[in-house]
Amino acid sequence: MKKQHLFIGGKPTESVDYKTLQAPYSGETLAEVSSASAEEAEAAIAAAVQAGKAMRQMPAHQRADILYKLSSMLEERKEEAARIIALEAAKPITAALAEVDRTVETYRFAAEEAKRLTGETVPMDAAKGGEGRIGYTMRQPLGVIGAITPFNFPMNLVAHKVGPALAAGNTIVLKPAEQTPLSSYYIANLLQEAGLPDGALNVVSGDGKTIGDVLVEHPRVAHITFTGSPAVGTSIRSKAGLKRVTLELGSNAAVIVDKDADLDKVVPRCVTGAFTYQGQVCISLQRIYVHRDISEEFIRRFAEAAKQVVVGDPLSPDTVVSALITSKDVQRTLDWIEEAKQAGAEVVAGGQAEGGILRPTVLINVPRDAKVSCQEVFAPIVVINTVDSVEEGIEHVNDSIYGLQAGVFTNDIHTALQAVDQIEAGGVMINDIPTFRVDHMPYGGVKQSGIGREGVKYAVEEMTELKFVMFNKG
């Protein structure tokens, strides 16, 4: 059986403890994976500190070359990488291949940003007393970045942390999700092959609290970038002190469908947003508010489409929905569906589980305080409710503790601009689903959806320190 060691200081490092990793869909054993102790996490930080000088002094073109090489190697090994994702995360292979494509592009964006660490001149003589002086700003790496990533995009969300960190000249200690560590170790080995200095990237898998507490509280870690639950994000912020944090947390993404929407286009797009990768996406479409004039037809079409979604083995190219990440999540979602039904909701599609797979589920007439409506479901469940206007829809969208992304389908520019102004979210997608994301756009939320922004350029800004320099010419 394969043994996956820690990756510290540029080489595989045996751990004191290993745990069995099983595939969520088949239950087969994938590997015995290192489970790092607090001392091993500290060793990873020490390796990152030691590599800091080399990374800080490395020319921008060299950092860019390493990232370009990584993206090229990953592109060449696309099928192998996608299979790892499909097995450890139960991500349908077509979605896994798409994730690898995005990861390749994310590292290319990072390579480009490595060459764009620019500052600006400051007109010192704009202020009295500033005459005879030259002022400018520059960006410098923070040092050691602590990165904690989730299971649902085990390569691309890692890329959104590792890529910008390296582009800016930082070093990293990466703690991947316990269910999906193999993707991170795969990338670490490719980066080593691409010429990354020993210790610039260290990967330590294992218990989230054990490793996370070390990263968050260690004085040599300058920045924590975390994607995960609001509860853990809140804990990180409370323990981080003056350390910088970027937190991409929960969501309950919603879309409003106006009465003039083209259902031939909108329904398939919303089905994709709700059910792709069994809804285990931070911006998966969970709530739909449809104008009363078209709601009956929309619900009928949507429910019919949901029943046609292919479920099954993640390695099958036809599969859209496979197993949820754990059996506990299957039971949780069934409990939430039952709670909604008891409160008066109607199930018009799905609602049943087959082993680890929850069939794509559509509920209507759901009370706002039902868990499937107000919490993050992270499963192939969508709630459809009827509204009398877009304005009413906006009120429902904002009636949430989350605010990551939202969508509005309308052909009225005034309605669209009103929605952009009034919706409380980090991103508003007009005539598209909130699940839309490309990897160079700013991405992050408000309220309990987080702090800071990802998207490679914006993450680089988060991971660098702005320094001001002044020369007195006199």
Q: Which residues pair with 285 in a beta bridge?
A: 253
Tally of residues, the chain: 474
Q: Which residues pair with 349 in a beta bridge?
A: 362
Catalytic status, residue 282:
yes
Burial class (CB in 10 A: 0-12, 13-18, 19+), 313: middle
Catalytic residue, from 40, 99, 248, 462: name it. 248
Q: What's the CA dihedral at 351, 354, 358, 363 to 10 degrees?
A: -10
Report how far apart the first and last C-alpha atoms of the chain are (Å, whole number): 71
Hey, what are 107's tokens?
């590292």
Catalytic residue, from 105, 270, 282, 462: name it. 282
DSSP assignment string, 286-324? EEEEEEHHHHHHHHHHHHHHHHH--BS-TTSTT-SB---
Hey, what are 300's tokens?
């009928």
Q: What gap in Å lies between CA 20 and CA 151, rounded to an integer? A: 16
SS (H, E, C) 169-198: CCEEEEECCCCCCHHHHHHHHHHHHHCCCC
Q: What gap in Å lies between CA 7 and CA 186, rounded to an integer? A: 10
Cα separations in angstroms, 310 against 81, 90, 121, 267, 357: 23, 14, 56, 17, 11
Query: Which sequence positions are flagged as catalytic?
Result: 248, 282
